[in-house]
């Protein structure tokens, strides 16, 4: 019985499908740093004013009673968001129940200098870009607040 011939390897497939798209050079280079629709990992360090405005819009869309100024958003004593220079600082303090968070929730793209207390009652994070992870994080905290406070 003859041996079956192995299918093409990765290198063969890669070279077979490699295409020179030199015509794209005529359009020039793009600055992909702040293009909307790109994954958040490709967007680094957004302006603190833009971040603050995005967070404020999220709170308004969730119809939560907040207090806000040009530099601070607060949700009772539970959550405070401060615009400090070029970054957004979020502090959460639960007085009733443990926060529905684990440390890895605070290690997503767009988060830096995160801290979750051992009893999961307090949390702080620096937000430096807006994306799916940061939106989900804030949405979860709003939902937790709505159901428990």
pLDDT given at position 114 = 95
Give the H/E segment covering residue 137: helix 132-148
Radius of gyration from C-alpha coordinates of the chain: 23
Return the domain boundaries, the chain.
Answer: 44-148
CA nearest neighbour of 146 among 70, 81, 79? 79
The alpha-helical segments, DSSP class H, found in the chain are: 10-17, 48-61, 132-148
DSSP helix/strand/coil, 143:
helix
pLDDT in tens, 9-21: 656 655 666 565 5
Looking at per-residue confidence, does 114 or 5 come out higher?
A: 114
Half-sphere CA count of 89, side-chain side, radius 13 A: 10
CATH class of the domain comprising 44-148: alpha beta
Which pLDDT band holds residue 30 (cuts at 50, 70, 90)? very low
Rounded-to-integer distance, Cα 97 and Cα 13, Å: 55
pLDDT in tens, 75-111: 999 999 999 888 899 999 999 999 999 999 999 988 9
> Would the pTM count as exceeding 0.85?
no
* DSSP structure class, residue 38: S
pLDDT beyond 50 at 41: no
């Amino acid at each position: 019985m003859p041996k079956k011939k192995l299918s093409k390897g990765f290198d063969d497939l890669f070279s077979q499908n490699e295409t020179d798209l030199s015509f794209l050079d005529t359009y020039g280079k793009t600055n992909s740093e702040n293009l909307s629709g790109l994954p958040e990992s490709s967007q680094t360090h957004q302006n603190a004013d833009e971040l603050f405005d995005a967070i404020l819009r999220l709170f308004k869309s969730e119809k939560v009673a907040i207090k806000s100024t040009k530099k601070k958003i607060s949700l009772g004593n539970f959550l405070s968001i401060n615009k400090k220079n070029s970054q957004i600082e979020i502090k959460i303090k639960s007085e009733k129940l443990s926060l529905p968070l684990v440390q890895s929730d605070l290690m997503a793209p767009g988060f830096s200098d995160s801290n979750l207390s051992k009893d999961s009652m307090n949390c702080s994070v620096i937000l430096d870009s807006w994306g799916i992870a940061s939106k989900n994080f804030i949405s979860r905290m709003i939902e937790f607040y709505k159901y428990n406070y």
